[in-house]
Amino acid sequence: MTLIRISGFLYAQSWVQLPTIGTPPERANASSIYLQSENRMIVFGGRNSTGNLNDVWSLNLSTNEWNNITPASGSMPSVRFTANAVYDSLLNRMIIWSGQGSALYNDVWAFNFNNNSWQELWPDGNTAGAPLKRYGTAAIFDPNNRRLVNFAGFTTSGRFDDTWYFQVDSLRWTDQTNSNHPELRCLHSGYITPDRTQMIIYAGQHNGALADIWSLDLNSYVWTNLTPVIKPDGRWFSPVVNTNSNYSVIFGGQNSLSTFGDLWKFSIDSMKWDSVSQGVTKPSARWGHASVYIPSSDKLIIFSGADPEYKNDTWVFNNISSVRVNSISSVIPNTFTLYQNYPNPFNPVTKIKFDISTNAKSQSSDVKLFVFDVSGKEIQTLVDEKLKAGSYEVEFNGAGLASGVYFYMIETGEFFDTKKMLIIK
């Protein structure tokens, strides 16, 4: 069997500022989606020092080139910030709704990527059978049922705690508010899990900054509070995205006291937050930035934001799904060893232990540990850093992977080993 080292192999977890060709104007509170079929990040609207915006920009992540794809004519949404944007892959369109401009909105629009044109799906107005006009909401697109699902926001009657869905084919709203749900709020964020069964919402504002995280079952519309005791400081205007390994990832945000520049991951499987080390080179603290996740390369992309000045820089964090390696003993082992993962077989989480001994030059080694499939394609880099001699353990989460045989391999300057593991679902 030959191991294939694909492009981008073994990048360390790190931030890199992306040098782009062309750049949109500075902004905060823009909406964004990732267009996977074309490897593009799409950004709509927002606000800056000149006012509110309704332009549409595309970042080609293969060439790092920004292009303004705003239609030159035809109807389009009013200028606004904090609109929600979701992607309807069946019809290759971005759907946006709500937001704030000269007023609050509850209209729904679709941007067709086949011809770069807008179509209004639902008119603006506080009418019976539809959610009130609002901004600062959280919404996802449920492709199984073809629904835009929304929770809460600031309305013309104050903050709400309602749950609604919009059927994008029949163009009808349905109120799905249940008795047990997160408290009323605005300025929160949300996403749909990779298995398309849950909507996750995070944080926001109500009598101060919130720090909770909840899941909504998209079949029963039952809410579950996932919030652990140890968690990041409460905040709002902090986008949340989901990774291949079923982690919720946040960067930045603000509350009444601070603007944040921290990076955190929340495991939905273990319901545990972990702070992610970012290194020296990293984005400045900010709120209201656009954020998307690239599944094929395990990258987090952020664009723009404010603190307090508006920004238009673009940053990439590599290998965001990688987990921290835990030192379990400082006793120096006699040899380098890679142990069999446990449990094995597993579903979906297993642990991998390894020993690092001293080498001929120093008390530390450059260690690389990664997982690949039977074809030799890399699945995930678990470790890529210099480690002191000792015993270590790292967790691998196989959520999203098919049942079957996988391999993990360790490389140091003086040691190499590979072992087999089995996922059974």
The string over 240-276, giving b where at least 16 C-beta atoms fall within 10 Å of a residue's C-beta and e elsewhere, is: bbbbbbbbbbbbbbbbeeebbebbbbbbbeeeebeeb
What are the pLDDT digits (tens) for 93-102? Answer: 999 999 999 9
Whether residue 210 contacts residue 241, with contact meaning beta carbons closer than 8 Å, is answered with no
pLDDT for 132 beyond 80: yes
Whether residue 314 contacts residue 61, with contact meaning beta carbons closer than 8 Å, is answered with no
Distance CA 244, CA 151 (A): 24
**What confidence score (pLDDT) does residue 362 get?**
63
Tell me the DSSP string of 21-84: BS-PPPBBS-EEEEEGGGTEEEEEEEEETTEEEEEEEEEETTTTEEEE---SSS--PPS-BS-E
Mean pLDDT of the chain: 91
Distance CA 47, CA 57 (A): 14
**What confidence score (pLDDT) does residue 9 get?**
33
With cut-offs at 50, 70 and 90, classify the pLDDT of residue 349.
Answer: confident
Distance CA 138, CA 248 (A): 15
Report which of 258, 240, 312, 325 is spatially closest to residue 283, judged by C-alpha positions: 312
Report which of 268, 277, 216 is spatially closest to residue 247, judged by C-alpha positions: 268
Domains and CATH numbers, the chain: 14-318 (2.120.10.80), 326-423 (2.60.40.1930)
With cut-offs at 50, 70 and 90, classify the pLDDT of residue 361.
Answer: low
Q: What is the mean pLDDT of residues 240-252?
A: 91
**What confidence score (pLDDT) does residue 319 get?**
78
**What confidence score (pLDDT) does residue 153 get?**
98
pLDDT for 8 beyond 80: no
Find the range with the poorest average confidence among 34-48, 167-181, 279-293, 390-404. Answer: 390-404
With cut-offs at 50, 70 and 90, classify the pLDDT of residue 327.
Answer: confident
Q: What is the mean pLDDT of residues 176-185?
A: 95
Distance CA 215, CA 201 (A): 7
Distance CA 151, CA 140 (A): 9
With cut-offs at 50, 70 and 90, classify the pLDDT of residue 280.
Answer: confident
Q: What is the mean pLDDT of residues 241-258?
A: 92
Provide the whole-model pTM: 0.78
**What confidence score (pLDDT) does residue 171 get?**
98
The separation between CA 44 and the C-alpha centre of its own chain, rounded to angstroms, equals: 17
Q: Residue 96 — φ and ψ, nearest 5°?
A: -120, 150
Distance CA 28, CA 337 (A): 49
Q: What is the mean pLDDT of residues 123-151?
A: 97
**What confidence score (pLDDT) does residue 7 get?**
28
pLDDT for 90 beyond 50: yes
What are the pLDDT digits (tens) for 205-228? Answer: 999 999 999 999 999 999 999 999
Whether residue 76 contacts residue 38, with contact meaning beta carbons closer than 8 Å, is answered with no
Query: Taking the CB of residue 122, how many other CB atoms lie within 10 A of it?
Result: 18
Report which of 102, 105, 92 is spatially closest to residue 42, judged by C-alpha positions: 92
The string over 123-157, giving b where at least 16 C-beta atoms fall within 10 Å of a residue's C-beta and e elsewhere, is: ebeeeeebbbbbbbbbbbbbeeebbbbbbbbbbee
The string over 92-107, giving b where at least 16 C-beta atoms fall within 10 Å of a residue's C-beta and e elsewhere, is: ebbbbbbbbbeebbbb
Q: What is the CA radius of gyration of the chain?
A: 22
Q: What is the mean pLDDT of residues 161-175?
A: 98
Whether residue 356 contacts residue 392, with contact meaning beta carbons closer than 8 Å, is answered with yes
Residue with tokens 């400082």: 330
pLDDT for 250 beyond 90: yes
pLDDT for 359 beyond 60: yes
**What confidence score (pLDDT) does residue 129 get?**
95
